[in-house]
Amino acid sequence: MGTGIRSYTVLLVIVVLVLNAAGCYQLFGPSDEEVIKAIYDTGFFSGGVEKYSLKSAIKIIEKGPRNSDGSWRIKIKATVTFTMTGGRETSPKERTSVFRIYKSKDSSGKTVWKADAE
């Protein structure tokens, strides 16, 4: 009985280590809240002249596997408008965008999630 429990424990440890090495994003990647905060922090959807303005909440469509550089590819959908030079705003359109999410250190040395548009 004791060797069966040990065998299952060893198997469980091996599975966890393999998933960690493979970069299984469901267990070790950024949460949805962290992804959305990182995307908002990019300023990609901030208002202003010749900028996108967000008209709906960001919805995460797809989370890709971890890349070799340690980042995750995230595909999102949102309704946006585009403010042109004359101050005119286009009609709202639903757009999908792809971001690369990765860990970085901020100016205080704290680890935070960052996003770059692809």
Percent of all residues in the chain with a pLDDT value above 70, rounded to a whole number: 83
Per-residue pLDDT band for 21 (boundaries 50, 70, 90) equals: low
Q: Which residue in 79, 107, 77, 82 sits closest to 93, CA to CA?
A: 79
Pair of tokens at residue 74: 């995230």
Provide the number of structural domains found in the chain: 1
Q: 17 lies in a domain?
A: no
Q: What residue type is assigned to position 86 of the chain? A: G
pLDDT of 20 over the 70 cut: no
pTM here is: 0.67
Residue range 70-87, pLDDT digits in tens: 899 999 999 888 877 777
Q: How far apart are CA 12 and CA 4, in angstroms?
A: 12
**Domain of 43?**
29-117
Q: 85 lies in a domain?
A: yes
Residue range 93-103, pLDDT digits in tens: 898 999 999 99
Residue range 39-63, pLDDT digits in tens: 988 887 776 556 777 888 889 999 9
Q: 71 lies in a domain?
A: yes
Q: 3 lies in a domain?
A: no
Q: 18 lies in a domain?
A: no
Q: Residue 44: exposed, middle, or buried by beta-carbon count in 10 A (0-12, 13-18, 19+)?
A: middle
CB burial of 23-40 (b: ≥16 within 10 Å; e: otherwise) equals bebeeebbeeeebbebbe
Q: What residue type is assigned to position 43 of the chain? A: G
